[in-house]
Structure 1
Amino acid sequence: MKKNKNKTLNKVFNNDAREILKFLGSDIKIKTTITSPPYFDMKDYGSENQVGYGQTYELYLQDLKSIFESIYSITDNDGSLWVIIDTFKRDNQVVTLPFDLSNKLKESGWLLQDIIIWKKDKTVPWSTKGFMQRKFEYILFFTKSNEFKYNKDRVRNFDTSQLKRWWVKYPERYNPKGKALDEIWEFPIPVQGSWGDQYVRHFCPLPKEMVATMIEISTDKEDLVLDPFAGSGSVLFQSSIMQRNYVGFELNIEYINMFEDYIKKMHSKLKKEHSKIIDNSDQTLFEKRILELRALKFGRILVNKIEENFEIEAKVYVTIRKFLTEKTKLLEVDYELLMSENIELNTFLNDILIKPPFSKFGITAKIKFKNNQELKRGKYYGYTKTNSYAYSSLPIESSKIKVISKICVNLKESDYE
């Protein structure tokens, strides 16, 4: 992270978040705010005049609204706000804090884009009459405008062990970047030592993987992340090791001292660890494999369609020419048919290639005809008319081989049950 001349950056203020504009200049532009506000009067965070503890519910909501109005005024137009918050019970009924706060924030101009369920699993094992054991919290995702930063491709799930086995046979149905996150996030609450041995526990610790996900979605390197209720600084620390600037507010000086001590001791080590985690080589391999499967299956369906409509034996050579970056077209592929060209076949191909299923593959297909069936030098793999995700042991000259390519895939659905 580059050093910034602005002295307010990469600092935790020992000040009240209700006075946030007194300490952040008008030139400050927040890209995203990630925070978990104090739990109303359920917890005493050890500071006088704190938000939540000792207040009425109405005053508590009004203070939160005022704080987030101030944050709104210094947030970039493409900026966002993540609020981790939960319901609680008072006077024998549930208080819908997430929804009450959401309405207050919408009055301030914030746009509610999504409600995510944080399934946290490990929690205090208690429940009350009419109130089940608490296993989740709400994450409210707001933006300042409709034009907000949203790097969803960076946080897709490309772990094939967690994908349904259908990706092997139906690659055209899967985004090459991986499966999009759904609205239930499973991140266990951190246990002692999960942030490092030198980090003491805080009332409401946030999982670093969950914080990293929010940061990755809403910011780029050098962007500014705010936490107005910094606590022990988990949001700020994660921002720092991900090469974002940060600023925080915290009334408890002990938490600030702990954070500053910890960042001195652990920053370099955990930054290196994070760099290894965010290595996107696995995602690149998944993307390449999905696109290769698409190219082969396209060729197999092409051959099958020709044989179904014409009394000829068909075979095709498949060569990926270019990986594209367009949203609708991802590949440019040569399909060399081993047959003579004729007008009727050309008309048929021109008609079917612009319709499903071919139009669903994201492939720009270059159809060629090749009378000379000799292959160029190199290793080739053959695929049958029923399987384009595992090459056949048959010689490529076999009449059962319909697709020939230098692309080598050998997958089994059963490996991904």
Structure 2
Amino acid sequence: MNKNIKKIDINKLNMYLNESSVHISDFFSQKKAFVDLIVTSPPYWNMKKYGDVESQTGYKQTYKEYLSDIKKTFQGVYDISKENASLFLIVDTMKRNGKMVRLPDDISKELESIGWIHQDTIIWDKGKTLPWSRKGQMRNVFEYILMFTKSDSYKYYIDRIKTVDELMEWWIDYPERYNPEGKVPENIWKFPIPTQGSWGNKKEFGEEEFRHACPFPPEMMARILLLSSDPNDVVLDPYAGTGVLLAMAQKMGRRYIGFDTNKDYKKVFEQVTIPLISDKWPAIEAYYNVQAELKGLMKEAIYKLRVLKYQKALIKKLRPILSPEPYNKNKFIRPVLFNVALAHNLSPEQLEDQKIGRVDYWMVLNDDEIDADILKYHVNQLTSKAPFTKYGLITTTRIITTNQLRNILDQNRFNNFYLYTEGNTKDCKKEISLQEIIDLLNSKEALFKLFDKDVPPLVSNVKIEQRDYSSIPAIKYEKKTYLNELIREESLLDLIDFDN
């Protein structure tokens, strides 16, 4: 323990310290864990000297000495971190004397020996980087983000960073295949690295420039902060650099503390990073606000689309039982005349076992076309397994006659019914009254005009129209083949002999 270290009151944070983090736990007078999230990128051994400071981790050290300092730092970080803390470590491989130094592996071993648990590895696609390459090494455009936790009980709010980006256009046809909460990000994160010096050149900040070799993208820091922390949490960067994490944490209502031995970086943090993060934050906040709105629309739409599609999909699965002969438009083999879907809640809700709603289904038989008991048996067999168990619905299915439906409707127990016809369960045809439903049941000729082959019309208390989900972005499907992927690369066109 260094007795010359000035103690820090953990109740008075939001500070950037020009100190080494090798003995980080010695700075805090209260011996209790208080850090919630750590995001950092340590020096890559002796690849670069950061400023004129001699006593920095990696500089003029052997690889063994460097790893020893890394272990000391993250042992101290471990000691001051809460049990539910997470650590995101950004690191990369490097080459020395013609050999690859597997820095991510070696640092991981040091952290695991302390007690940190390796949970995930994310690839950070930086886009453009220094245009250098050498024998045995391609131009490197990615780094690793290693996620560690102190225990198995850690903060992980994946719903916050799910998105409604890059949905295929057919999501409305297969709502059971899409998560109502949005899409979980892949483990390759594409965040272009800020161009070296660009931030400092865009605005006047005195003589300071944004000179750090690798500042974190603010958007990437926001994603990590949303994923693994809450407002008022303490966020730590033991190798703070220009302090992008710290400034973003402050903007998002977290408390921060950063360590770095380079005094110039603290000046850049104060004079460049903080104002620039303030400029960038409105756009980042707006993005997540829009995503939250889109996810709300999508959750509602997927729930309704699932409720409405369920019986249509069931009829199609039942075809070999309902209509053994191939469909013939001149021969009406339509054992089910009518479908009814009654949702208990018109919006999705959180139920047991990841279910999102309760629905009662009625299948109205066409007189004596099929035995009700046989149909009931096959319905139970199908709905007890995929794909119907993937809909997230708790369902009951009743097989009833037209007279039974008439009696139910005569009791006037339900209001606001909506009609879906010709197999289209994605866009309401119209609102339909109880009398109109009874009139349809009394006229099979009129009813059959609303069929899609053997799929009967549907009446439900759930209403959805195309405009309810038209604002959700979707990508037109384009079948990819090896050939058209080559054609995309204009530089390869001359290599293809189309005549042969």
Give the structure-1-normalised TM-score: 0.87
Query: Is 1:190 matched up with 2:216?
Result: no
Distance 2:193 2:276 in 1: 20
C-alpha displacement of 1:262: 4.5
Q: 1:332 and 2:358 equivalent?
A: yes
Which amino acid in the other structure matches residue 30 of structure 1?
Answer: V
Corresponding residue for residue 405 of structure 2 = 371
1:302 shift after superposition? 3.3
Choose the corresponding residue for 1:404, options 459, 479, 496.
459
CA contact (8 A) 1:155 1:180 kept: yes
Alpha-carbon distance in 1 for matches of 2:243, 2:363: 62
Contact kept in structure 1, 2:200 and 2:272, CA below 8 Å = no
Determine the structure 1 residue equivalent to 2:422.
384
Distance 1:100 1:383 in 2: 63
Partner of 2:48: 43
Aligned residues: 409
2:308 equivalent in structure 1: 296
Contact 2:247–2:274 (Cα < 8 Å) also in 1: no
Q: Any idea what SS the aligned residue of 1:102 has? A: helix
Q: What are the Cα deviations for residues 179-229 of structure 1, in whole angstroms up to 9, with x where unaligned?
A: 222221111111323997457242111111111121122112221111000
Q: Which of residues 253, 256, 267 in structure 2 aligns to 1:246?
A: 256
Distance 1:342 1:102, change over 3 A: same
CA distance in 1, matches of 2:111, 2:359: 50
How far is 1:116 from its partner? 1.3
For 1:139-178, what aligned pairs fall within 5 Å after superposition?
139-159=145-165, 162-178=166-182
- State the AA in 1 paired with 2:27: F
Structure 2 SS opposite 1:416? coil
> Higher relative contact order by CA 8 Å / sep ≥ 6: 1 or 2?
1
Aligned to 2:338: 315
* Structure 1 partner of 2:130: 124
Q: How does 1:54-69 map to 2 (within 5 A)?
A: 54-69=60-75
The offset of 1:58, in angstroms, is 1.1
CA distance 1:174–1:196, shift in 2 (3 Å): farther
Greater Rg by CA: 2
Contact 2:25–2:79 (CA<8 Å) still a contact in 1?
no
8 Å contact kept, 2:308–2:425: yes
**What's the counterpart of residue 225 of structure 1?**
235
Q: Distance in 2 between matches of 1:81 and 1:414?
A: 34
Range 182-191 or range 360-369, more displaced: 360-369
Deviation at 1:315, TM superposition (A): 2.0
Q: Distance in 2 between matches of 1:13 and 1:233?
A: 11
Q: Assess if the C-alpha contact under 8 Å between 2:210 and 2:272 holds in 1.
A: no
Verify the 8 A CA contact 1:324 1:332 in the aligned structure 2: no
Partner of 1:15: 19
Query: Whole-Å Cα distance in 2 between the matches of residues 289 and 242 of structure 1?
Result: 30
Local SS of the residue matching 1:34: strand
Q: Show the counterpart of 1:283.
A: 295
Name the CA distance, whole Å, in 1 between partners of 2:277 and 2:33: 24
Distance 2:451 2:200 in 1: 59
Change over 3 Å in CA distance of 1:171–1:56 after alignment to 2: same
- CA drift at 1:366: 4.2
Cα distance in 2, alignment partners of residues 362 and 153 from structure 1: 17
Correspondence 1:26 to 2:44: no
State how 1:264-283 maps to structure 2 within 5 Å. Answer: 265=275, 270-279=280-289, 280-283=292-295
User: Alpha carbons of 1:187 and 1:381: their partners in 2 closer, same or farther (altered >3 Å)?
Assistant: farther
Please give the secondary structure, in 1, of the residue aligned with 2:337: coil
| Matched letter for residue 318 of structure 1 | A
User: Take 1:336 and 1:165, find their aligned partners in 2: how far apart are those partners?
Assistant: 30
Aligned equivalent of 2:383, options 317, 334, 353: 353
- Assess, with a 3 A threshold, how the Cα gap between structure 1 residues 22 and 415 changes in structure 2: closer, same or farther: closer
Query: CA 1:194 to 1:256, structure 2 compared with 1: closer, same or farther past 3 Å?
Result: closer
Distance 2:123 2:69 in 1: 25
Give the counterpart letter for 1:206 in structure 2.
F
* 1:256 corresponds to which of 266, 272, 276: 266
Task: Tell me the distance in 2 between the aligned counterparts of 1:124 and 1:416.
Answer: 35
Q: Deviations over 1:306-360 (max 9, x none)?
A: 6654562332233433222135211222334445996655555444433333222
CA contact (8 A) 2:357 2:394 kept: yes
1:307 and 1:313 in contact (8 A); partners too: no
Say whether the 8 Å CA contact 2:360–2:396 is kept in structure 1: yes
* Structure 1 pair 290–264 and aligned structure 2 pair: CA distance change class (3 A): same
Instruction: Classify the secondary structure of the residue corresponding to 1:384.
Output: coil
Greater alpha carbon shift after TM alignment, 123-132 vs 305-314: 305-314
What amino acid maps onto 1:324 in structure 2?
A: E
Q: What's 1:52 paired with?
A: 58
Go from structure 1 to structure 2 and tell me whether the alpha carbon gap of 1:272 and 1:26 turns closer, same or farther (over 3 Å shift): farther
Q: Cα deviation per residue 1:223-273 (whole Å; 9 max; x = unaligned)?
A: 111100001101111111121111111112222133233576466655544
- State how 1:77-88 maps to structure 2 within 5 Å: 77-88=83-94
Distance in 1, matches of 2:304 and 2:396, equals 16
1:108 and 2:118 matched: no
Identify, as 1 or 2, the structure richer in strand. Answer: 1
Change in CA separation of 1:229 and 1:109 when aligned onto 2, cut-off 3 Å: same
Q: CA shift at 1:274, angstroms?
A: 3.9
Paired with 1:402 and 1:305, the residues of 2 have a C-alpha distance of 17
Q: Is the 8 A contact 2:167 2:474 kept in 1?
A: no
| Structure 2: 5+ residue stretches without partners | 1-8, 323-333, 433-439, 441-446, 478-500
Gap runs ≥5 in structure 1? none
Distance in 2 separating the partners of 1:391 and 1:89: 62
* Change in 2 beyond 3 A, CA 1:414/1:203: closer
TM-score, with length taken from structure 2:
0.74
Q: Structure 2 residue aligned with 1:416, among 476, 479, 496? A: 476
| Correspondence for 2:104 | 98
